[in-house]
Amino acid sequence: MDSVYFSKELFPLNVDECVVTLQSLDEALHILKQSWAADHKTAQLQFDESCQHKQALEQASTESQTADMRVQSRLKEAKLKSELLRNSISKFYAEFEQRQTELQQELEESTQIRAQLETQLSDKTGHNEWLSKKLE
């Protein structure tokens, strides 16, 4: 086995200096551990907040998608109702025009019948007057 030899020129410290150096290193290590623990705790808190924020964003996204689906559904329903109403109005207008045409024809027929009746009445009135004069 090879023995390890430390030269005083390479390591000029004595035992007391080594103990002080080790104590300093121990204190530095303790400070580093405390610092690491604080950093770890801060990082864990930030991670937890990040997870909560992520969950809140996911929930908001889900709610937004649900609301969007409801809006799309209502939009489709409104378009369908609009189309049904438009068809109903078109049908009503076509029936209205047909009825208006029928009524116009009936009015024309009634006007012709009235004119004929007035002519007949006038003829009869004229005939009655003629008969009255003859009878006188």
Burial of 43 (0-12, 13-18, 19+ CB in 10 A): exposed
Looking at residue 73, its pLDDT comes to 97
Cα separation, 114 vs 104, in Å, equals 15
What token pair was written down for 136? Answer: 């006188």
Cα separation, 66 vs 53, in Å, equals 20
Mean pLDDT of all residues in 30-57: 95
CA 1 to chain centre: 81
Query: pLDDT band at 4, cuts 50/70/90?
Result: very low
Predicted TM-score (pTM) of this structure: 0.47
Give the pLDDT confidence of 70-129 residue by residue, as tens digits.
999 999 999 999 999 999 999 999 999 999 999 999 999 999 999 998 888 877 777 677
Mean pLDDT of all residues in 40-67: 95
CA 82 to chain centre: 19
Residues 21, 13 contacting (CB under 8 angstroms): yes
Mean pLDDT of all residues in 15-23: 76
Give the pLDDT confidence of 51-62 residue by residue, as tens digits.
999 999 999 999
